[in-house]
Amino acid sequence: MLCTDGLNNMLAFDQIHKRLDANATSAVICNQLLDDANVGGGTDNITVVVSRFLNQIPPEQLMQELEQPLEAKGDTDEYLNMQSVKLMV
């Protein structure tokens, strides 16, 4: 989750964690968090982004892949796009 202080100033950590831990889509969680913050006072602009990443690779494997030279990767553009996705994890 990425958010502005408009969210985390209105909600306690346990409230946010409860929503993030729910079995719901990212969109539903975002809307619930926005609603919760507005009910809590909503005194500032509220921005929240929730993403879930599947098929995560272990950090040590990611580091090994990032240390290999680009020439060994084949298509550089495709490789860089894949690394961008992995780094977001």
Choose between 29 and 77: higher pLDDT. 29
pLDDT value at 83 more than 90: no
Strands, E assignment, the chain: 2-3, 48-49
Instruction: List pLDDT tens digits, range 48-82.
Output: 999 877 666 777 776 776 676 655 545 555 555 55
CA 56 vs CA 70, 85, 87: distances in Å: 22, 10, 10
pTM score: 0.61
Q: Note the pLDDT tens digit of each residue in 9-28.
A: 999 999 999 999 988 888 99
